[in-house]
Structure 1
Amino acid sequence: MEDEELAKSLLVTQQPGNIRISNGFGSNDTGASASGVTTVLLLSAFVTACSAFAGGFVAGYSAPAESGIIDDLGLSVAEYSVFGSIMTIGGMIGAVISGKLADIIGRKNTMWILDIFYIMGWLAIYFAKAMMPLSVSVAYLIGSVINWRALALIGAIPCLLLLFGLFFIPESPRWLAKIGREKEFEAALQRLRGKNVNISDEAADIKDYTENIQKIPEDKILDLFQQKYAHLLIVGIGLMVLQQFGGLNGYAYYMNEIFELAGVPSITGFIVVSIPQIPAITLGSILIEKFGRRTLLMVTVTGECLGCFLTGLSFVLQVFEAFYSLGVGSIPWIIISEIFPITKKGSAGSICNAVNWFCNWLVSFTFNFLVEWSPAGTFFIYGSMSFLGVLFIAKLVPETKGRTLEEIQASLTHILQ
């Protein structure tokens, strides 16, 4: 009980209105006003964005590169299924170890290690059986380079920017404070805020928060497997399974094959499918605050179900993509972040993330085999899974918007009675 009370006090302390950042420019002003945006802060944000872009590029690479890789390297369906899904194996491992690794060696060092693996992966793709294209015509060689080898080099660009950018940004001040490196903590925070900004109030807040966090017992995964957390785990894991078994990553990794089955030029298909996603994401961020998480999730999973069946009948893929972007892609993560106590968020996040990646692998690995069996049947299976997802949400998933943890847990108890 004491741990939960401490956790609640931490949440209150860390509300945006309670965090003090002085802008006294060397003075002793203690007013709660935000400092200006600095070059180092912008650079840090850019480097972090490069990391996200690198991950997204990996996820999207296999779709446009599929036909070129299969033709040039002579891969079978099974071999390309391994290629298309192998990223998810790394995702499963990363979901379990990345948090602990970042706590032990720091955020920057963790990003460096991961980025080196990114670059090695792209170079391995680029140089895969590099001598084979010499036996074909020059035109075919140039075409293959443009189609997928050059794409691999483009994918390495944000990785290189990340690699060199990390030399010019400071380590996370909160991590430095956590491990007791006082001088480096203050220096890093000063660099982020600007050399003339008074950081004393913000530094004190971070130290207080770090000291209180360390009083909470270590978050252990096995602690989650208790009766009182069973309902939360069912919801969290169920949402991850629902998100992946709708078939999104089967579509994403092998979209080029879907367009070929539909008789649609790949470039035209990619453009048509991509157009609805940006407005759908924007609209989703507005609707989620107006209608709540549960309602929007039910609507978008229903739309995703409809999109699967339409794709099975006539390859209308953009309906599925639009509804996924509108809510299915983001809302499960939001709900998971809101239903678990702060003392269990880390472990719960690791479990749910690992399940998500495992389901991602299962869908992406089996997609080609299912399509060979029956293209339409594949999408009807995914549509049926989405329909089961609608029933799951209606029966088990609580609304979390504007509710305390106690209210969420009470609603879960009521739902499961």
Structure 2
Amino acid sequence: MRDLHLSLAEYSVFGSILTIGAMLGAILSGTIADWVGRRCAMAISDVFCIIGYLLIVFSKNSVWLDLGRLSIGCGIGLLSYVVPVYISEITPKNLRGQFAAVNQLMICCGASLAYALGTCITWRTLAIVGVAPCLLQLVGLLVIPESPRWLAKIGHSGALEEALQKLRGKETDISEEAADIKDFTEKLQHLPQSKMLDLFQKDYIHAVTVGVGLMVLQQFGGVNAICFYASEIFVSAGFSSGNTGMLAMVAVQIPMTALGVLLLDKAGRRPLLMVSAAGTCLGCLLVGLSFLSKEHHWAKDLNVALALMGILIFSGSFSLGMGGIPWVIMSEIFPIHMKGSAGSLVTIENRLVIKRIVPVDQKFC
């Protein structure tokens, strides 16, 4: 973005305004998904993202960049809620957890691919590339079935069976599962309508503390600072270019996320979270020591080695557990009739937590 000559403040706003858009999208996500359905909600999020990327591609100043980033954030906030809900509603019970974990793996793969591409193409070209998966998903949404559970909720029994048959295959007998979905939906409608304030009752306060606490710790660990400014951190620590470090970070994230998926049910949520949190703590410590070494003019190779090890350990450890497990735990600890309100609360809180932004040198703007 050097060609736009952004100031330090404008560069920082661009980096952080995504969070505001994501928070707005999260606030509206539950209402939109229940009103127009899961497929249409995902389509709306794609439109937000496409508009955002196009604004960035054709940007003439920082205002265009910020509006584009804000629009992308709205799409991300909406997708963060709708996609896990859709996955949980179309998959069989015995595969639901694995599909949810694979969703996190795909998110990591997409982010890693974007990092890798960013090392060899310009930022405008990268924004054009970002439009492609959004258009691909829009086309795909035309052929995938709507959530059977949402169809049951709005009383479309015929469409429910048609969608379920498409999901399970033409030769599969879906009568029992369709009946279970209808019975479950009827029971759910007889439960008291939950509100967000109900979560703070004595019966749910422990679950709320766990869910919200995990999201706060996930964000305050520094993940957004690492994600947004990893390249600048590498250069500031002494690398001639941030590209080498970025490619190394990508190479670590994907296998560590895959390992987390494999260990999620075998090792358990809590032990994996503890290992992940310890690793992110160690990574931050090593990055801090790198800049301490630079300040005191210790060996230059030591600065570079500590920065590289710190960011790789942080990224790998975060991918192992802290990135995805809080979302899995959140979906497991609340009763069914409170999941909608709980999901909205936790998603909003996740986007609302103040992101600590790493100061960057003016020359990178």
Q: Aligned in 2, Cα 1:271/1:334: closer, same or farther, shift over 3 Å?
A: same
| 1:283 CA drift (Å) | 2.5
1:302 partner SS: helix
Q: Aligned in 2, Cα 1:288/1:165: closer, same or farther, shift over 3 Å?
A: closer
Q: How does 1:141-290 map to 2 (within 5 A)?
A: 146-264=121-239, 265-290=241-266
Counterpart of 2:76 in structure 1 is none
Q: How does 1:60-139 map to 2 (within 5 A)?
A: 69=1, 71-129=2-60
| 1:305 CA drift (Å) | 0.8
Q: Amino acid of the residue matched to residue 338 of structure 1?
A: E
Cα distance in 2 for residues equivalent to 1:270 and 1:126: 23
Cα distance in 1 for residues equivalent to 2:165 and 2:328: 32
| 1:197 CA drift (Å) | 4.1
Cα distance in 2 for residues equivalent to 1:101 and 1:338: 23
Cα distance in 1 for residues equivalent to 2:121 and 2:257: 30
Q: Amino acid of the residue matched to residue 107 of structure 1?
A: R
Q: Aligned in 2, Cα 1:233/1:305: closer, same or farther, shift over 3 Å?
A: same
Shift >4 Å, 4+ stretches: none
Mapped contact 1:283–1:326 kept (Cα < 8 A): yes
Correspondence 1:346 to 2:340 = yes
TM-score of the superposition, structure 2-length normalised?
0.73
| 1:222 CA drift (Å) | 1.0
Q: Which moved more, 1:106-115 or 1:290-299?
A: 290-299
Q: Amino acid of the residue matched to residue 305 of structure 1?
A: C
2:289 to 310, 313, 323: 313
Mapped contact 2:280–2:318 kept (Cα < 8 A): yes
Correspondence 1:367 to 2:340 = no
Mapped contact 2:234–2:245 kept (Cα < 8 A): yes
Correspondence 1:301 to 2:295 = no
2:321 to 308, 314, 327: 327
Percent identity, aligned pairs only?
A: 55
Counterpart of 1:46 in structure 2 is none
Q: Which moved more, 1:268-277 or 1:182-191?
A: 182-191
| Unpaired stretches in structure 2, ≥5 consecutive residues | 62-117, 291-306
| 1:320 CA drift (Å) | 0.9
Cα distance in 1 for residues equivalent to 2:358 and 2:316: 23
TM-score of the superposition, structure 1-length normalised?
0.64
- Indicate the RMSD between aligned Cα atoms, in angstroms: 2.4
Deviations 1:205-248 (CA, angstroms, capped at 9, x unpaired) = 22122212212111210111223332322222111111011101
Q: Aligned in 2, Cα 1:147/1:372: closer, same or farther, shift over 3 Å?
A: closer
Deviations 1:112-158 (CA, angstroms, capped at 9, x unpaired) = 2111111100100000019xxxxxxxxxxxx9994111100100000
Q: Amino acid of the residue matched to residue 311 of structure 1?
A: V
Q: Amino acid of the residue matched to residue 243 of structure 1?
A: Q
Q: Amino acid of the residue matched to residue 155 of structure 1?
A: G
Q: How does 1:23-38 map to 2 (within 5 A)?
A: none
Select the structure of larger CA radius of gyration: 1
Counterpart of 1:411 in structure 2 is none
Mapped contact 1:77–1:368 kept (Cα < 8 A): no
| Unpaired stretches in structure 1, ≥5 consecutive residues | 1-68, 131-142, 374-417
Aligned residues: 287
Cα distance in 1 for residues equivalent to 2:145 and 2:325: 32
Mapped contact 2:188–2:337 kept (Cα < 8 A): no
2:6 partner SS: coil
